[in-house]
Amino acid sequence: MENTKYTDLIGRFLSGEITADEKAVLMAWADADSANRAFFDEMARLWSVSGEYEEEVFTTDIETAWVSFEKKFEQRFPSGGGEALPGEEKPEGKVIRMRPMRLVLRYAAVLAALLAAGYWIFFSEGNSSQMVSFRAGPGERQELTLPDGSTVVLNENSELSYAEAFEERRARLTGEAFFQVTKRNGQTFTIDAEGATTTVLGTSF
């Protein structure tokens, strides 16, 4: 799958095993779209954070996670099927044990791909993949009005992104913000904020 291809390239880049040609492809992809760049930066952050933990044994069922990912991904992208990279194989169905610093590369097709699935589905909302992003720099605050009429006060050093269509009323927040959410026929409003997800119908928070 094309999107899985790039999560694998990111893993190779972060581990220092990427070739010059692969790096050129990855950088072109990251620079082509702000959503791609945001995903690349998030994976780099996760890689960096993984080095802060002490070594411990980790157990995961690769086959179960892979099957779950493929099912969800094919539902969203039924025409998928990009070419696999040379030497790329589907993980075998067995329980493996490994140390944390090797996790990102060894099961990038599972953990990173699962994250990528949710990320790509979110940022491919509707018929348009065009993203809208707002950022408040140091000492700045921004007052925004979203397509559904909801208002947001974005605090300094914070960023808000959402699909231009905004059909699912879902946004991604990095930093801090105050939301005044309008009600819309029982439709929920969801905010993904640095590992936490908040879903409401209409309120201030």
Instruction: Say yes or no to pLDDT of 54 above 50.
Output: no
| Domain ranges within the chain, ordered by starting residue | 2-123, 131-200
The pLDDT value recorded for residue 179 is: 82
The rounded distance, in Å, linking the Cα atoms of 16 and 7 is: 14
For the CA atoms of the chain, what is the radius of gyration?
A: 19
pLDDT at 98: 41
The mean pLDDT of 113-128, rounded to a whole number, is 49
What whole-number percentage of the chain has pLDDT above 90? Answer: 4
* Predicted pLDDT at 62: 52
Rounded CA-CA distance 24/168 in Å is: 34
- Going from the C-alpha of 81 to that of each of 2, 106, 146, the distances in angstroms are 7, 21, 35
Q: Above 80 in pLDDT, residue 95?
A: no
Burial of residue 43, with CB atoms counted within 10 A of its CB: 0-12 exposed, 13-18 middle, 19 or more buried: buried
Contact 184, 146 (CB under 8 A): no
Confidence band for 126, pLDDT divided at 50, 70 and 90: very low
What is the model's pLDDT at position 69?
57
Using pLDDT thresholds of 50, 70 and 90, give the confidence band for residue 19. Answer: very high
- 199: confidence class by pLDDT, cuts 50, 70, 90: low
Q: E strand or H helix at 178, and its extent?
A: strand 177-180
**What is the model's pLDDT at position 24?**
92
Name the region of 147 (left: φ>0; alpha: ψ -120 to 50; beta: rest): alpha
- The yes-or-no verdict on residue 156 having pLDDT over 50 is yes
Is the domain covering 131-200 a CATH 2.60.120.1440 domain?
yes
Average pLDDT of the chain?
Answer: 68
Q: Which of 7-11, 40-44, 64-68, 135-139 has the lowest mean pLDDT?
A: 64-68
Q: Is the pLDDT of residue 47 over 80?
A: no
Question: Which of 18-32, 61-75, 99-113, 171-185 is least confident?
Answer: 99-113
pTM of the model: 0.37
| Range in 36-50, 75-89, 98-112 the model is least confident about | 98-112
